[in-house]
Amino acid sequence: MRKLIAVLALAALGASAASAQQSSWNTEIGLQGGYSRLKPAGTGVNDYVDVFDVPGANGQLGATTYNSFFAILKWKEKIALEPSMPFGALAGQITTVGLGLRADYALSPKFYLAGGGVMGYIATGGITDYQLGLQVAAGYRLRVTGRINGRLEANWITTKATDVVGAANVYSLLFGVSTRL
């Protein structure tokens, strides 16, 4: 009986070690898109804007929603750094640029949590401003083909008010595709 318990314990340790190796991050580059709801913070009324974009295009709201281009840089076995930026711009006389940096933590080979910061730059009518914020995400990773990976992610970004732009919250459900480098 003791031998059986010892063999089962060793098998469980081996399985958990194999699971930890599978959950490691790879260096990847990718695009994401999906559904976002942009809402001014603290208003409590139905004054939101809904946006749906395919992976790789931020459409009309550009840097004010989510960052569509991302890279995953393995840092440790279960931790990766993820810089990101948007593709797209607001129509007309407004220029926006966004940058994000977050840490992704692998809970398992498929599930992860992430958190970090965002910075936005806006220029309109000769006025420029910077907006800082936080981002939090939870996601599920999957393999699409041999070198193409996918992910489904719930993402929340909150930004503080500036002289030009009010505080806002962005709630997103995103689908991303990436490839290993």
pLDDT digits (tens, 9 = 90+) for 118-153: 998 887 778 888 889 999 999 999 999 989 999 999
pLDDT digits (tens, 9 = 90+) for 18-61: 444 455 799 999 999 889 888 888 777 778 888 887 765 555 45
The correct CATH number of 25-180 out of 3.30.70.100, 3.30.465.10, 2.70.70.10, 2.40.160.20 is: 2.40.160.20
Domain ranges of the chain: 25-180
pLDDT at 31: 92
Could you give the CA distance from residue 178 to residue 176 in angstroms, rounded to a whole number?
7
Nearest to 153 by CA among 101, 104, 119: 104
Nearest to 84 by CA among 103, 96, 68, 97: 68
The pTM of the full predicted model, rounded to 2 decimals, is: 0.79
